[in-house]
Structure 1
Amino acid sequence: MEIIIAIILGTVEGLTEFAPVSSTGHLILVAHLLDFTGERAKTFEIIIQLGSILAVVFVFWKRILSILGIQKYQSSEGMGKLSLIHIAIGMIPFGVGGLLLYDFIKEVLFSSGTVVITLIIGGVLMLVAEKYKPIPTAHTLDQISYRQAFAVGMFQCFALVPGFSRSGATLSGGLLSGLTHKTASEFTFIMAIPIMAAATGKDLMESWSYLTTSDLPLFITGFITAFLVALIAIKFFLRLINKIKLAPFAYYRFGLAILFWIFLL
């Protein structure tokens, strides 16, 4: 039964981690319905997030090597210009906010009530971003300016609160700062790698005592499932986002908030 739970939750993680719908919210709700809770369940969620991160590395490995200066990236407009400086600038606001607010968020804001509120607020932000976005000036990753990278990083701070969705916050910030939907999505995915790796690494060290060899089948199954599903979901999302925009995801969040209210409050 636990292997089935691992497959279900790994699938949920892979499908929702990079969509603007709050993977945390989905995992909390589905884990509650499956009666899979407690410290062991939290450790499992950390493991499957690592699977999702690996999927991003797999999809964008050429661009990542270019950013690190290991390999040159040739885009349709010439040599790639997205650099490690862009990523660092985008990470600074989130990193500072995380260091200052981590304990407060974990102890006070990590609740079902918070998730309901942030699902709604995040959905509203996405609708506002769609309505008031300017004419795009960055149609590719190589056209993103330092100012735009910082703006996306500032919006990413909303994702410090559970349920807001890092992808939803950064996509909204990207649109409002002049990025196209696809460019904002790609920048969001790439910037997720160091941020999620750092956050899950910290959580994993704190939860290390809950890892046991008897749980290896559970964790390995969840990790592999999350990786494979995220791999498919990322490629599908990049093709989908330009067609349907953010509004359908916003309305989906409102529906998820209602389910949270019914089952967890």
Structure 2
Amino acid sequence: MNDIISAIILGIIEGLTEFLPVSSTGHLILAGHLLGFEGDAATTFKIVIQLGAVLAVFVLYWKRYLDMLKGLLAFNFSAARKLNAIHLIIAMVPALIVYLIFKDVIKQELFGPAPVLIGLILGGILLIIGARANRKVTTEHTDDITYKQAFGIGLFQCLALWPGFSRSGSTIAGGMLLGTSQRAAADFTFMISVPVMLGATILDMYDNRELLTSSNLMLFLVGFITAFIVAMIAVVTFLNLIKRLKLEWFAIYRFVLAAVFYIFLM
């Protein structure tokens, strides 16, 4: 029963933090440490429930994904400056390659409280840099994102493989450094979240298929459903919030969170 309660708590945390540049994985690792919910099964659980939150984005953008799929199947990419499946693929490739090469090191060395605190601080610094760089905005809307910018955002997404950095934080700050508006970077971040997290979840579940026992399956299901429901409630509010609120506020929150947990861990 205690594990079920932990699964619900972690599902709520995931649903609330997945769409903000504060690192949902970092929050899950720190919360899991407090709850004593750790180990290989817990690591896989935290990745599986992220898919539940990300599905909320799919529900929100399903028409756009359908249009992209139709264009991909028809090999119709004539509108090079209109967001299409190629943009998403280009943005996914860098992180996928890095993950496949270093996944064992990432899980063994970075999925712990101390690395997360470092990631929170470094990710917060990146947010401040992205917000204050004053780069000329060449891309106001998501459909104007170029293939070059998509690839650059994909490179920044590699930083999110370090828990605590935040996938949305890295890609939004990276997009702004590459000339996109905060709104365009946020929209693009949410768009690529579905294929990225779907791929990560499938790979992780395959690597840890021996952990998908009937007892663990119940925990995964409870956390997945909780994250999906909470994310569906929060997604619209947070989408608007992340497009309008200055990134520095999220950076301050990250610094405070890191300080509080550092004091607790010490």
Pairing 1:224–2:225 present: yes
Contact 1:51–1:227 under 8 Å retained in 2: yes
1:157 — aligned with what?
Answer: 158
Pairing 1:233–2:234 present: yes
Contact 2:33–2:113 under 8 Å retained in 1: no
User: How do 1:40-119 residues align onto structure 2 when only pairs under 5 Å count?
Assistant: 40-69=41-70, 81-119=82-120
Is the alpha carbon distance of 1:168 and 1:201 closer, same or farther for their aligned partners in structure 2, counting shifts above 3 Å?
same
How far 1:259 sits from its partner (Å)?
A: 2.5
How far 1:66 sits from its partner (Å)?
A: 1.2
User: What amino acid does structure 2 have at the position aligned with 1:68?
Assistant: L
2:191 — aligned with what?
Answer: 190
SS of aligned partner of 1:127: helix
Identity rate, percent: 51
Contact 1:133–1:177 under 8 Å retained in 2: no
Q: Distance in 1 between matches of 2:201 and 2:216?
A: 18
Stretches (4+) displaced over 6 A: none
Q: Distance in 2 between matches of 1:44 and 1:91?
A: 22
Q: Distance in 2 between matches of 1:177 and 1:61?
A: 27
Q: 5+ unaligned residues in a row in structure 2: which ranges?
A: 73-78
1:22 — aligned with what?
Answer: 23
Q: Please, what TM-score do these two structures have when normalized by structure 2?
A: 0.89
Cα distance per residue 1:203-238 (max 9 Å; x no partner): 112222222323444332211110111223321122
Q: 5+ unaligned residues in a row in structure 1: which ranges?
A: 72-77
Q: Distance in 2 between matches of 1:259 and 1:21?
A: 15
Cα distance per residue 1:69-119 (max 9 Å; x no partner): 269xxxxxx9x9211111112122212222222222223333322211111
User: What amino acid does structure 1 have at the position aligned with 2:207?
Assistant: E
- How many residue pairs get aligned? The number is 258
Q: Distance in 1 between matches of 2:56 and 2:265?
A: 31
User: What amino acid does structure 1 have at the position aligned with 2:29?
Assistant: I
Pairing 1:170–2:188 present: no
Q: Distance in 2 between matches of 1:141 and 1:130?
A: 18
Is the alpha carbon distance of 1:242 and 1:52 closer, same or farther for their aligned partners in structure 2, counting shifts above 3 Å?
closer
Contact 1:43–1:211 under 8 Å retained in 2: no
Compare 238-247 and 250-259 and name the one that shifted more.
238-247
SS of aligned partner of 1:69: helix
Cα distance per residue 1:180-215 (max 9 Å; x no partner): 222111111111112111111111122222223234
Contact 1:133–1:178 under 8 Å retained in 2: no
Pairing 1:122–2:106 present: no
Contact 2:159–2:167 under 8 Å retained in 1: yes
Contact 2:183–2:244 under 8 Å retained in 1: no
Q: Distance in 2 between matches of 1:258 and 1:245?
A: 21
Q: Distance in 1 between matches of 2:154 and 2:48?
A: 25
Q: Distance in 1 between matches of 2:133 and 2:175?
A: 12
| CA root-mean-square deviation | 2.0
1:131 — aligned with what?
Answer: 132
